[in-house]
Structure 1
Amino acid sequence: MTHAMGKGHMQKAKRALYLFFLRSLYGLRSWSFLAILFLIASPLWGGQPGTFTPKGNLNQSRGGHTATLLPNGTVLIVGGKDASGRSMATAEIFDPATGQYTELLPTLPVPVSGHTATLLKNGTVLIAGGVAESGTPIGFAQVFDPATSTFSGPKLMAVSRSEHTATLLTKDGRVLIAGGTDGSASLADLELYDQDTGSFSRVPTTLQVARRSHTAALLDDGTVLLAGGSDPAGALSSAELYNPAANTVVAVGSLNAPRMQASAALLLNGTVFVAGGKNFQGEDLNSAEIYDPPTKSFTQLAALMTSPRSGHVGVTLQDNGKVLLLGGTNAGQLVTGVELYDPVTGTFRTVGAPATARTRAATNFFAVPYTGGMLASGGQDANQNPLASSELFSYPTLRTDKQDYPPGYVVRMLGEGWQPNEEISILIHETGNPDFTMVVSADAAGAFAFDAFQTQSKDIGMSFLATASGPQTNWTAQARFTDSVTSATITSPTTGSPVTVTALPANVTISFNYSTSAGSTTGQASIEGSGNTTVASNSKSLTPGTGSDSITVTIPAGTANGSYNAKVQVNNSTGSGPNNKTDTQSAAVIVNVVACTAPSITTNPSNQTVEYGQNATFSAAASGNPTPTVQWQVSTNGGTIWSDISGATSTTLTVTAPTVAQSGNKYRAVFTNSCG
C-alpha cells in the first residue's frame, strides 16, 4: 500500500484547487503525484463547532415525539404530548434547505407519544407502540409513506407496549420490537415487523429477563444487545443478546451497575457505550461503561460524566464518532448542561448548551450537504411544559466517499465544520500495518475533500480507522472504512413471496447481486433450518467485480415440513487473504409435502341423453397427492377398446353436437399421478 502525506494550498479563486503531492512516511522516498481535484464547500447553515444555533419552531409544541431522517433529506416529526399531557395525532416535516417546519395533513390514524419510529429499507417509517390519549400502551403500529405523504394503519402488534425498543435488523430489513410494558408489568415478549408482508409476528423465544426502559444496540455481527432497564423490583444490571438468524436469546456479562433510562450508542470500533440512567435505589448516575462484543462483557470507564443524568439523549455523532449527551434529569431536576464522550481520549467534556434547556426532545442527523449538524426539536422544559423551539448542534466531520473499498481503489476523504483554512492532521490506523499521517488545509468554508491514498491490490479484509484533529477547533473526528467484499444481497426468493415446495426432491434457485474486488470469487447458496442447520447447498465461481448471478440448490427427499431460510455467501480472495459477505432471507422457502396418495375418484361421469344438434357434457373428479392429471377416453365397441381423445385433459368433456353414429359410445376419465 502506498502510504502518503500531502499538504494542500488554496488558490485565489471561487473554488479551492488542491494539488496533492504525496510522500511516504517510511524513509526518504520520491515524491509522487496522486490527484488534482476541485473542492466545493458545504453550505454554511450551522454555527461554530460545539455550539447550538436556533432553527425554526415546530407548528405545535410537543415532547416525547420522534424525528426520522427521510430518504429525500427532510425530517419526519411524529406525535408526542401536548400542553395538556395528551398524546398527539399530528405530524410535521422539517426541511433543512429552509430551516422551517410544515404541518402534515392528514394526521395519524392513532394519537401517540413515547413510541418508536424506524426508517425501513423501502423508505417508509414504522411508528410502533407508545402511549394513547388514554395514557395506556398501544398495541398498534402506523406506517408513513414519504411518496404519498400519508399514514396507514393501525397495524395490529402481537403485544400492546410502551417503553420498548425498536431495532432495524440491517441484514434482512425486519424490525425487532423488544420488551417494554403493557401498562401493568414489564415484558419479555419479542416480535418482528416484516416490511414485505406489512405485519408483525411473535418471536418464538422471549427475553430471559422481562424489562422496560432498557437500551438496545445493533452490533456489527447483526445481533442485538439489550441491557439494563427495570422490572417491578427495580433497575436491572443484566444484559442479553438476540440472534435474528437463529431466533435465540442468550445472557451476556452484566452491567457493572443496574441502569434504567440509560443511553446506549454504538462506537466506530464496534463496542457499545452505555451512559447514565438510574440505579436500583433510583439515584441518577454519572458513570458509563463499554460493552466489548468479543468478550461479551462490560468495563466501567474510569472517567465520570460531568453531570449525573437519566432519560437523556445519548447518540454517536454522525461522521464524527463522539457521543453527545443531552437533557435528562438529575434528582428530578432538568440537566441543562451538554457533554461529549470522546472515544479517542476516553474522557468527557462540556460543550455549549442550547439556548433553551430541554429533555424528551427528538434528535436527528442530516444527509449531504447538511452533514455536521444534529437537530434537537421540541421536548419539555424544567416545568414539563412542551416546547416548540428547535436548535442545531454543529460539529466537525470526517467521512469517506465509500464505506468499503475493493483493493486497488483510491480512498477519498471529506470533511465539513472545521475552522476556515484550518490545518488538519489525519491519522490512519490500519489493521496489521503501522499508522501514518496526512495533513490537509480546510477551505474558507471549513471544508475539505481529497484523494487520500490507494489501497493495495494484494490486501483484502482490512479495516481502517481515520482520526482527524484540528488545533483551532480543538476537535477530533473519526471515520471507519474497510477494504473487502462490498456486498452480497439476495434478490430472490423473497420473504414477501416465499417458494413453497410440495414435492421432494425440489430445486430452488437463489438469485443475488454482489460486488467484489479483483481476484478469485465464489458464491455459495444454501437452504437452512432451525439452528442454522444446512439442508441443501451449492456453489459456483463468480466473475470478480459487480454483477448478478444465481445458484440452484436441491432440497433432498426426507426434508421435514417447515419454514427455511435462504442464504448466500460471496467469498473473494486476493493477495494476503480471504474475505466474504453474507445475506440471509428469513422464511424464504416453505416445505409443505403431503404424503403421496394414488388418485381416488370422487365424481363419476353420468350417462347423457341429448336431442340431435345439442351438446353432451360429462364431468369427473378425483383426489390424490400430487394432484392427479386427467385424460378422457372413448370406446366405440362397448368398452373393449379405449382410445385417448386429443386435448381432452380437463375434468369436463364436451362432445359437440354428437351424430347418430356416436350414439352408444362410452366415455371415461382416467386420473393418474406419480403414486398411481
Structure 2
Amino acid sequence: MLIVGGASAGVPLASAELYTPWTGGISATGLMASARASATGGAVSHDGLLLVAGGKNASGTTLASGELYGFATVKTDQADYTPGSVVTITGSGWQPGETVSLSFLESPYYDSHPSVIAVADANGNIFNNQFSPDINDSSILFYLTAAGSVSQAQTTFHDTNTTTTSVSCSPNPIHYGSPATCTGTVTSSTGSIDNGVVQWSSPSGTFNPTSCTLARTGVGNQTGCSVTFTPTSLGSLIITANFFASNNGHLTSIGSQTTTLIVTAGFTATSQSIVYGTNTV
C-alpha cells in the first residue's frame, strides 16, 4: 500500500511511504516531484504503476499535473492449479540484476515448501517455473511472497479442484418397469480426473449397482460412469447422483445434480381371432 502526500500542520507533503501488510511495516520510499495535499491516485492498466494526480500545493493552487510511481509486482499464470502442475511466476518493477526470493506459505498450514529464486533481467522482470503443488495441497490457499534487496510483493493462488456432476438417462421417457441407463459425468475445474465414486438415489426406483466407479470418458477434464435404473412408480422421477473423490486431488461435488425421468404406463397388445356373433371377454 502506497501512502503519498497529504499535509502536516497545513503544509502539503511530497513524502511517500510503503505499508507492507504481510510484515506490518511502513518504510519511506522516493519523494514525489511536487508536494500535494488532497491528491487522488489509483493503479493504471500497466502492471507496477500507480498514478498520483491533482491535489493542491503550498499556495493552495489546484495542480493539473500527475506523477507515476513504479513498484515491484509478482503474479502467477493461473488462479488454481492441480497437484503436480507447474506454477509459472512472473513479475515486473524489480531492480535489474536483483535477486528475488520466492516463498510459499500455506493456509491452512499443512506442510512447508522450499523457496525458489528468480533474478531480475535488464528490464526488471522476473520469471520462475520451479514450483508445483503436491497431492497434499488440495484446497490450500498459497501466499506467494517475492522479496528482493529493495522491494517486496505478494500474491495468492489456490490448489482447489472443484467438480460439477451432471446426470443423463436413456431412454427418456420409458415405460413403467422398464430399465434405463443413467450416466453421471463429473467435470473438474482444472486438469483431468481419474478416480472417485458416484452414488445414486431416487425416491421411486432401484439402481444396479447403487454406485459406480469413474472411468475416463475421453474428454480431458471429464470422467463418467453408468448404472441401470428401474422405476417403481409412474410420473416424473428425480434421479440424483453425488460424486465423492477417492483422493485429495479433487473436491466432492457440492449437493446433488438431478435429472427428471418421465415414466409412462406400458401395455402389450395381442392378436385374437373372433367368430362373428360370439362374445369375447
Q: In structure 2, the residue corresponding to 1:413 is in which secondary structure?
A: strand
Amino acid at match of 1:575: N
Q: In structure 2, the residue corresponding to 1:391 is in which secondary structure?
A: strand
Question: Residue 464 of structure 1 corresponds to which residue in structure 2?
Answer: 142
1:48-98 deviation digits (Å, cap 9, x = unpaired): xxxxxxxxxxxxxxxxxxxxxxxxxxxxxxxxxxxxxxxxxxxxxxxxxxx
Indicate whether 1:347 and 2:28 are aligned.
no
- Identical pairs, percent: 32
Question: Residue 247 of structure 2 corresponds to which residue in structure 1?
Answer: 575
Indicate whether 1:364 and 2:68 are aligned.
no
Deviation at 1:373, TM superposition (A): 1.1
Q: Give yes or no for contact 1:429–1:436 (8 Å, CA) kept in 2.
A: no
Deviation at 1:389, TM superposition (A): 0.9
Question: Residue 329 of structure 1 corresponds to which residue in structure 2?
Answer: 7
Amino acid at match of 2:118: V
Deviation at 1:573, TM superposition (A): 4.3
Q: Give yes or no for contact 1:485–1:581 (8 Å, CA) kept in 2.
A: no
Question: Residue 235 of structure 2 corresponds to which residue in structure 1?
Answer: none
Q: Give yes or no for contact 1:485–1:580 (8 Å, CA) kept in 2.
A: no
Output the CA distance in 1 between the equivalents of 2:244 and 2:43: 34
Q: In structure 1, the residue corresponding to 2:115 is in which secondary structure?
A: strand
Deviation at 1:571, TM superposition (A): 8.1
1:15-50 deviation digits (Å, cap 9, x = unpaired): xxxxxxxxxxxxxxxxxxxxxxxxxxxxxxxxxxxx
- The 3 A distance-change label for structure 1 pair 345 and 459 is closer
Match of 2:94 among 412, 415, 418: 418
Output the CA distance in 2 between the equivalents of 1:581 and 1:362: 45
Residues 464-613 of structure 1: pairs in structure 2 closer than 5 A: 464-471=142-149, 474-485=150-161, 515-519=189-193, 520=196, 545=221, 573=245, 575-576=247-248, 579=251
Deviation at 1:475, TM superposition (A): 1.5
Output the CA distance in 2 between the equivalents of 1:518 and 1:424: 33
- The 3 A distance-change label for structure 1 pair 337 and 483 is same
- The 3 A distance-change label for structure 1 pair 338 and 457 is same
Indicate whether 1:442 and 2:124 are aligned.
no
5+ residue gaps, structure 1, are 1-322, 489-512, 523-540, 548-569, 583-676
Residues 111-260 of structure 1: pairs in structure 2 closer than 5 A: none
Question: Residue 120 of structure 1 corresponds to which residue in structure 2?
Answer: none
Question: Residue 453 of structure 1 corresponds to which residue in structure 2?
Answer: 131
Question: Residue 225 of structure 1 corresponds to which residue in structure 2?
Answer: none
Q: In structure 2, the residue corresponding to 1:406 is in which secondary structure?
A: coil
Match of 2:52 among 354, 376, 389: 376
Question: Residue 155 of structure 1 corresponds to which residue in structure 2?
Answer: none
Output the CA distance in 2 between the equivalents of 1:379 and 1:581: 52
Amino acid at match of 2:19: Y
1:327-361 deviation digits (Å, cap 9, x = unpaired): 33344443432111123432211111210122333
- The 3 A distance-change label for structure 1 pair 457 and 415 is same
Deviation at 1:458, TM superposition (A): 5.5
Output the CA distance in 2 between the equivalents of 1:377 and 1:338: 14
Indicate whether 1:395 and 2:71 are aligned.
yes
Q: Give yes or no for contact 1:404–1:483 (8 Å, CA) kept in 2.
A: yes
Deviation at 1:461, TM superposition (A): 0.4
Deviation at 1:441, TM superposition (A): 1.7
Output the CA distance in 1 between the equivalents of 2:197 and 2:57: 57
Amino acid at match of 1:576: N
Output the CA distance in 2 between the equivalents of 1:574 and 1:325: 49
Higher relative contact order (CA 8 A, sep 6+): 2
Provide the alpha-carbon RMSD of the alignment.
3.5
Q: Give yes or no for contact 1:363–1:375 (8 Å, CA) kept in 2.
A: yes
Q: Give yes or no for contact 1:374–1:392 (8 Å, CA) kept in 2.
A: yes
Question: Residue 232 of structure 1 corresponds to which residue in structure 2?
Answer: none
5+ residue gaps, structure 2, are 165-186, 199-213, 224-241, 255-281
- The 3 A distance-change label for structure 1 pair 455 and 390 is same
Amino acid at match of 2:20: D
- The 3 A distance-change label for structure 1 pair 366 and 452 is farther
1:595-631 deviation digits (Å, cap 9, x = unpaired): xxxxxxxxxxxxxxxxxxxxxxxxxxxxxxxxxxxxx
Q: Give yes or no for contact 2:72–2:91 (8 Å, CA) kept in 1.
A: yes
Q: In structure 1, the residue corresponding to 2:145 is in which secondary structure?
A: strand
Amino acid at match of 2:126: F
Indicate whether 1:407 and 2:83 are aligned.
yes
Q: In structure 2, the residue corresponding to 1:387 is in which secondary structure?
A: coil
Residues 224-303 of structure 1: pairs in structure 2 closer than 5 A: none
- The 3 A distance-change label for structure 1 pair 375 and 580 is farther
> What is the TM-score of this pair, normalised by structure 1?
0.26
Indicate whether 1:429 and 2:105 are aligned.
yes
Amino acid at match of 2:62: P
Amino acid at match of 1:340: L
Output the CA distance in 1 between the equivalents of 2:141 and 2:105: 8
